[in-house]
Amino acid sequence: MKNQLLASLFCLATTLSYAQEQENNEKKAKTTFTGSVDAFYSASLNNVEQTFTYPPYEDNAFSLGWLSVGIKHEAEKYGFQANLAYGPKNDNFYGARLYAEEGESSASTFNYVRDAFAYFNATDKLKISGGVFQAFYGYEFDDVHLNQNYSHGYVYGASTAGVMGAKIDYAFNDKWNLMVGAFNNIYQREENSDDDNKAIAVNLSYTTDPIWAAATYLNSTEPDGTTYNIFDIVGGFTISDTFTLGYSFQNLSVSSGVLGSGVDANVSIAALYPLITFNEKFSVGLRGEVLLDEESFYVGQFSGPIYDKNTLFNVTASFNYFVSENLKITPEIRLDGASKGTFTKNDGTLTANDSFGVVALTYLF
């Protein structure tokens, strides 16, 4: 009888302790809502129809970038977040399903989902997450208000438009962090028609003052047998209170053909991102980028069949003026070039040069 009483008291104490822990966890929880909208006017300086960015700049046109809304719920041990977007940039980047089955529509509600995942903090160092994630590599962010340039570079266009699966993050200390994840094929977010193939990714990052760096490897085999191998390195230096320098290098190799083309491809992209901050109201973001395309895989995805080797470059200058914490105005000049006729002019002819002027507004709410 005594042992039964002790056991009952132990169970009661354990239950009360767990309930108290859950109550304390809920008390510390908070929910926040965020959103942003951006729009721009673009004009070609040499009569080119559009350039390779997200969304594409078009000649003499006003356009919405996208409207993005998000929710985040954070507690001590767990949480979730979701971000949805609508607009031309979302259509161009997240777009339709590349590997839709025969008879299926390429449209999907997932086209509007930037991310939607839950996480659990197993320990102070270990976090487990599952759901849909934004691309976890690359220098440039989805949200333009987080970038020093309004337009996106080639390296952003070559990145995956989010993945679905599970990952773990482990913090060795306050400087080193490791991420390992398994996902559906990178172009098959919402379902996996080939259960034998999964995308595998590893990311190692180092952060301290005044430098940071991260390296990522991702491998994915798609339903048609196409294999993607992506290696990405990004980082930056804080040289002074007014000047920082970021860098990015990415290599994308594609084997066993692309959508039945029978062509292997190799794309290498290198970029530098100088940022000059004059004061809290005004900064100038610069970008210099070179893309080496062995089989014109990058350009072919936009302008027609895959053809011979091509080299692209872009130089971008963005002049960021912060009217307030919520509103930013960005005049931008972007110059693109190629080793062959790549950009389509208004009269239908091809040119190797492309230049655009842009005025963009970004508002956070």
| pLDDT tens string 20-59 | 555 555 557 899 999 999 999 999 999 888 777 877 888 8
294-330 as b/e: b if 16+ CB within 10 A: bbbbbbbbeeeebeeebebbbebebebebeeeeebeb
| Separation between Cα atoms, residue 347 and residue 340, nearest integer Å | 18
State the CATH architecture for 31-364: Beta Barrel (2.40)
- Domains of the chain by residue range: 31-364
| Separation between Cα atoms, residue 361 and residue 321, nearest integer Å | 10
Mean pLDDT of the chain: 84
pLDDT at 109: 61
Contact 156, 138 (CB under 8 A): yes
- Percentages (nearest 5) of helix, strand, coil residues in the chain: 15, 50, 35
pLDDT at 358: 96
| pLDDT tens string 160-210 | 777 889 999 999 999 999 999 999 887 766 665 555 778 999 999 999 989
pLDDT at 102: 52
Give me the amino acid identity at 245: L
pLDDT at 146: 93
pLDDT at 320: 98
pLDDT at 270: 97
Mean pLDDT of 247-273: 81
pLDDT at 193: 55
257-266 as b/e: b if 16+ CB within 10 A: bbeebebbbb
Contact 357, 332 (CB under 8 A): yes
Tell me: pLDDT of 90 over 90.
no
Q: Which residue would you say has higher pLDDT here, 261 or 287?
A: 287
What is the helix (H) or strand (E) element at residue 276, kind and residue range?
strand 265-277
Contact 245, 237 (CB under 8 A): yes
pLDDT at 3: 46
Q: What is the DSSP letter of 144?
A: G
Confidence band of 75 (pLDDT split at 50, 70, 90): very high
325-328 CB contacts, 8 Å cutoff, 24+ apart: 325/364, 326/363, 326/364, 326/365, 327/361, 327/362, 327/363, 327/364, 328/145, 328/361, 328/362, 328/363
Mean pLDDT of 290-319: 77
Comparing CA positions, the residue from 203, 204, 290, 298 lying closest to residue 247 is 290
pLDDT at 160: 79
pLDDT at 10: 47
Q: Dihedral (C-alpha) 311, 314, 315, 318: value to the nearest 10 degrees? A: -170
Tell me: pLDDT of 256 over 50.
yes
What is the helix (H) or strand (E) element at residue 2, kind and residue range?
helix 2-27
What is the value of pTM for the model shown?
0.85
Q: Which residue would you say has higher pLDDT here, 113 or 186?
A: 113
pLDDT at 166: 96
Confidence band of 307 (pLDDT split at 50, 70, 90): low
